Amino acid sequence: MIKTNCAKLNTWVKMWADIMQPENVVLCDGSDAEFTRLMDECVAEGLAKKLNEKKRPNSYYFQSDPSDVARVEGRTFICSRKQEDAGPTNNWMDPKEMKRILIGKYTGCMKGRTMYVIPFSMGPLGGPISQLGVEITDSAYVVGSMKIMTRMGAGALKLIEEKNDFIPCIHSVGKPLPDGLKDAKWACAPIDDKYIVQFPEEHEIWTYGSGYGGNALLGKKCFALRIASKMAQEEGWLAEHMLILKLTKEATKETKCVCAAFPSACGKTNLAMLIPTIPGWKVETIGDDIAWMKFDEDGYLRAINPEAGFFGVAPYTSAKTNKNALDSCSKNTIFTNVGYTPDGDIWWEGIGYPCPKGTIDWKGNVVDDPESRDEDKNPVAHKNSRFAAPAANCPGIASDWESPKGVKVDAILFGGRRPNTVPLVHEAEDWAHGVFMGSIVGSEVTAAAIGLKAGVRRDPFAMLPFCGYNMGDYFQHWIDMEKLPQAKGGKHMPKIFFVNWFRRDKENPALKSEHGFLWPGYGDNSRVLAYIFDRCNGEGKTVDTPIGKVPAPGQINIEGLKSCYNEETMKAVLTVNVDEWKEEVGRIEEHYAKFAGHLPKELSDRLAILKQRLGM
C-alpha cells in the first residue's frame, strides 16, 4: 500500500484498494521517466504504438474501442441529495442509490490490474485559484494523459500532504482481468454500464466503464467544470467552459484578456490560437477550454487556465486552420483514434496533405485506396479523434499563461453557430444583460445530427453538459457575481459581448464560392477582437438596437478582405432583424420555461425589456 504524509490520502487509497482488489498499487510521481516507462509498457502489451521518434519525439498512438469514442452525456449524473438541485438539464439519481450501484461495480473491478494513484493540481502548483485532486485509475493511458493535461505527481502530492485535503476522483475502465485473462486492446464496459458521476455536495467524482477523454481524465470536465462550478457557487467565483486569450495592440504594447464560451464545434481552439490577419495585433493563448475566475483584492476578475495541456479534436487541424495547435502536438503528445501512417506518424482528414497509402485507420484497417474513401461515412480518423498535447508546446502560448494569480479579464464573449438572427458582434448594456446573453447561447443543429431535432439547441454559457448543479441557480450565481463583497461594488466587471462567426447568406454567389458565410472567420476574427479591445477602452462608435449595442458602420476594419466581404456584407452581417428576433423570443420563452422556479427575476425582466423594444 502507498505511504504518504497525508493521512486522508493513505486511508482513502487503502479503502478503495480493498474494494477494487488491484494486483498492486502505484503512487505516480509525474516524472518524464514514469511517462516513458508506462507508455512503453502499453506498447509492449500491444495497447499502443510509439510514433516515429524523428518525426514525433516521445509521442504515442492509441485506438479506443469503437464503443468508447466520446463523452457520454446520457450516462453522466449529478447526484445531489435533492433532485431539484441537479436541475432540469442534468441526469440525476439519489446519491445513496448511486453509491450502492457503483460500489457493486467497483468491487473487484481492478482484479489483475494496477491501481495508479495520481496526485494532481488544477492550475499552477500552490496558486491562489488552483485546486488539488487525486485520481485513482486502472488505466496507464489515463496516467500518461493526466501528466500532459494537469500538473501531476510529486509537486502536487507535497501540497496535498501540507493541506491534508484533496478532491477525490475515482476511475476504473470497468474490465477486471481475473485469473490471468489477457487484456483487450482498449478495455471498457458496454455503454449502458458506463457511469460518469458527480456528487456536488461532497465534491467527489466516481466514474466507471470508459477510458476516453472527459469520462476518464477526471481533472477536466468532471472536476474543473462540474465539481468546480459547484465550489465556485459556494465560494463566490466562476468555473467556466471558456478559452482565455491575450490580445496585444503592438503600437502601444497594451494588452487585454478575453474569455470566451462557445458550444462544441464552434472553433474554440481556433480562436484561442488565432493568428491575426490585421497588422499590429498579436493573439496569445492562455487556455483553450476552461477558465477559473476569481476576484482579486481590488475587485478585478482574474482568470487561470486550470489545465496544462490541450485535449483537442484532431480532424481539420492544419497549418492553415490552426498552425499553433498543429505545432503543439509536434512532440510529447498522445494521439487517440487518428490514422497511423506507414512511416510511424499520424494523419487525419483536413490535416492539409493527402493520406499516405497504407495508413491504418482508427479502427485498425489498412487504407489501400485513400482517394476513393468516403470521408463522411468512413473517415480514417474518427470525428472525435484527439491529441493530448502539452500547452507549453504551443508557439503562441502567452508568457504569463502559468501566472498563479491569473490574468485580468477585460471581456467575456459568448457565441454559437447561428445562420441567421444573431449579428457578428453585439455588446451587453450591463452585467445582467450580459448574463442574459450567456443564458440564451445556442447553436443551430441540422437534421443530420444524430438523434437531435433540427433547430436551435440551447447550450447556456456552453455549460449544458458541464454545470454541476441546477442551471437556474447557476444563472443566479452569475447575476449575483457583481454584487458580491469581493466585487468591490462591481465597478470592474468585464464587458460582455455576443459573437456569431456563422451567419449565412444564400443569395450571394461570390460568398457561396467562399464557404457560404457572411464573415470570413478564422484569422479574420482578429478584426472583431480589435473592435472589442477598443470598446473595452470606451472607444469606437456603436448603434443601439433592441438586442444591445452593435458596431456603427465602418467600425470593424475590413481592409484587405476579399472583395466579396465588403460594406454590403458588413451591413448584412450586423443586421438586427426585428421579425427574426420576435421568433427568437418565442424560442427563448420555451427555453426559460424549463427553469421555472429557479429563473432569476433579472433574466425574465431582461426578456420583458427585449419584447417591449421589439414591439411585442
Residues marked active site are found at: 266
* Residues 320 and 326: beta-carbon distance below 8 Å: no
Q: Which is nearer to Mn ion, 291 or 398 (CB)?
A: 291
Question: To the nearest whole angstrom, how small is the minimum distance from the Cβ of residue 222 to ligand OXD?
Answer: 12
State the DSSP string of 111-175: TTSEEEEEEEEESSTT-TT-EEEEEEES-HHHHHHHHHHSEESHHHHHHHHHHT--EEEEEE-S-
Q: 549: helix, coil or strand?
A: strand
Are 230 and 219 contacting, i.e. CB atoms less than 8 angstroms apart? no
Which residues does residue 260 pair with via DSSP β-bridges, in sequence order?
Answer: 243, 413
Give the CA radius of gyration of the chain: 24
In whole angstroms, the minimum distance from the beta carbon of 76 to Mn ion comes to: 14
| Smallest gap from residue 399 Cβ to Mn ion (A) | 25
240 or 349: CB nearest ligand OXD? 240
| 58 binds ligand OXD, rule: CB under 6 A | no
| Distance, CA of 123 to CA of 36 (rounded, Å) | 24
CB of 149 to ligand OXD, least distance (A): 11
Measure the CA–CA gap between 427 and 412, rounded to whole angstroms: 10
Site string for ligand OXD, 525-544 (x = CB under 6 A): --------------------
The whole-angstrom distance between residue 555's C-alpha and the CA centroid of its chain comes to 31
CB-nearer residue toward Mn ion: 47 or 122: 122
Closest CB to Mn ion among 21 and 90?
Answer: 90
**Looking at beta carbons, which residue is closest to ligand OXD?**
264
- Measured from the CB of residue 38, what is the shortest distance to ligand OXD in angstroms? 23
Cα torsion through 249, 325, 244, 503, rounded to 10: 80
Residue nearest to Mn ion (CB): 289
Question: Min. distance of Cβ 213 from ligand OXD in angstroms?
Answer: 6
- Name which of 307 and 584 has its Cβ closer to ligand OXD: 307
Nearer to ligand OXD, 71 or 294 (CB): 71
Interaction of residue 264 with ligand OXD, rule CB under 6 A: yes
* Contact track, Mn ion, 289-318, x by CB under 5 A: x-----------------------------
Helix 601-613 × helix 431-439 angle, to 10°:
90
The H or E element spanning position 264 is none
Q: What are phi and psi of 323, to 5 degrees?
A: -65, -35
The nearer residue to ligand OXD, 107 or 264, going by C-beta atoms, is 264
Distance (Å, rounded) from C-alpha 442 to C-alpha 606? Answer: 18
Least Cβ distance, residue 172 to Mn ion (angstroms): 24
Q: Residue 9 or 286: which CB sits closer to Mn ion?
A: 286
Shorter beta-carbon distance to ligand OXD: residue 264 or 545: 264
| Longest CA–CA separation in the chain, Å | 73
- When CB distances are held under 5 to 8 angstroms depending on the partner's kind, the choice from Mn ion, ligand OXD, none that residue 540 binds is none
Interaction between residue 289 and ligand OXD (CB under 6 A): yes
Count how many Cα atoms sit within 13 Å of the Cα of residue 349 in the half-sphere of its side chain.
21
Q: Which residues inside 71-90 make contact with ligand OXD, applying CB under 6 A? A: 71
Can you give the length of the chain in residues?
A: 616
Residue 321: all three cell numbers together: 486552420
Spacing of C-alpha 149 from chain mean position = 12
Cell of 601: 427575476
- Residue span 203-232 as binding mask against ligand OXD, x where in contact by CB under 6 A, dash where not: -----------x------------------
Which helix (H) or strand (E) segment holds residue 499: the answer is strand 495-499
How many whole angstroms separate alpha carbon 215 and alpha carbon 446?
26
Residue among 289 and 444 whose Cβ is closer to Mn ion: 289
Residue 257 to residues 127, 243, 245, 272: CA-CA distances in angstroms? Answer: 19, 10, 6, 11
Output DSSP code: residue 525: H
What is the distance between the alpha carbons of residues 80 and 99, in angstroms, rounded to a whole number? 12
Count the site residues for Mn ion by CB under 5 A. Answer: 1
Q: Minimum Å distance from CB 468 to ligand OXD?
A: 15
Gap between the Cα atoms of 358 and 540, Å rounded: 55
Binding residues for ligand OXD, rule CB under 6 A, total 4
Q: Are 515 and 529 in contact (CB under 8 A)?
A: no
Query: Rounded to the nearest whole angstrom, what is the least distance from the CB of residue 259 to ligand OXD in the complex?
Result: 15
CA dist list (Å): 394 to 269, 281, 287, 291, 332: 12, 18, 11, 18, 12
Binding partner of residue 548 among Mn ion, ligand OXD, none, CB cut-off 5 to 8 Å per kind: none
Residue 316, classified by CB atoms within 10 Å of its CB into exposed (0-12), middle (13-18) or buried (19+), is: middle
542 binds, among Mn ion, ligand OXD, none (CB under 5 to 8 A by kind): none
CB of 140 to Mn ion, least distance (A): 24
Between 255 and 294, how does the x/- string for binding to Mn ion read (CB under 5 A)?
A: ----------------------------------x-----
Binding site for Mn ion (CB under 5 A): 289
Binding site for ligand OXD (CB under 6 A): 71, 214, 264, 289
